[in-house]
Amino acid sequence: MDVVDALEQFWNSLLDFTSQFIIPDWGGLIGLLPVFLLIGVLGPLLSLLLLAHLIYFIRKPRAPLAEPPGPVRAPIDADGRPEFPLGEPFCPRDGLIYPPNTARCDTCREGLSVRCPKCGVGRAAAIDTCGNCGLILKVRPQNQVVRATQPPPGGRAIA
């Protein structure tokens, strides 16, 4: 029977030994609670932040495409003077046609002009109502699309 006793004792000591690992030390766990909170709360927050950064950097190269088109050099007529289309802001000094809703020239910083599409009278582009005929210049979205497909004739680098 000595063998059985020895086995039992061995088994008990084995249980005691393993219980140290299986039964959690609650006091120690509560002491570690701030660490778990840190991992559980800051971890997801940090990974979300990382993800947001990742998405930002992935989307960043596409941003210039979403920007409004830059100024286009106005075509020169037979007399050597730039021709400006009606209803679009332009800089007479630089001969540039700007997209709708632009009021200032990027090159000379002067206020842009616009010619009324109805009566052809010029005014400052910042004013949306014609002083001559009272036509309010509304920006048509397709205007911008048409302009965006036209390459700048002068091959001017868009800053």
Using CB under 5 A, list all residues that contact Zn ion: 91, 93-94, 105, 107-108, 116, 118-119, 130, 132-133, 135
Q: Which residue's CB is nearer to Zn ion, number 89 or number 147?
A: 89
Query: CB of residue 120 vs Zn ion: minimum separation in angstroms?
Result: 7
Q: Which residue's CB is nearer to Zn ion, number 94 or number 147?
A: 94
Query: CB of residue 53 vs Zn ion: minimum separation in angstroms?
Result: 39
Q: Which residue's CB is nearer to Zn ion, number 88 or number 94?
A: 94
Identify whether the C-beta of residue 105 lies closer than 8 Å to the C-beta of residue 91: yes
Query: CB of residue 82 vs Zn ion: minimum separation in angstroms?
Result: 11
CA 98/CA 155 separation, integer angstroms: 15
Centre a 10 Å sphere on the Cβ of residue 125 and count the other Cβ atoms it contains: 23
The count of C-alpha atoms lying within 13 angstroms of the C-alpha of 130, restricted to the half-sphere facing its C-beta, is 18
Identify whether the C-beta of residue 100 lies closer than 8 Å to the C-beta of residue 144: yes
DSSP 23: S
Query: CB of residue 66 vs Zn ion: minimum separation in angstroms?
Result: 25
Centre a 10 Å sphere on the Cβ of residue 138 and count the other Cβ atoms it contains: 9
Q: Which residue's CB is nearer to Zn ion, number 1 or number 136?
A: 136
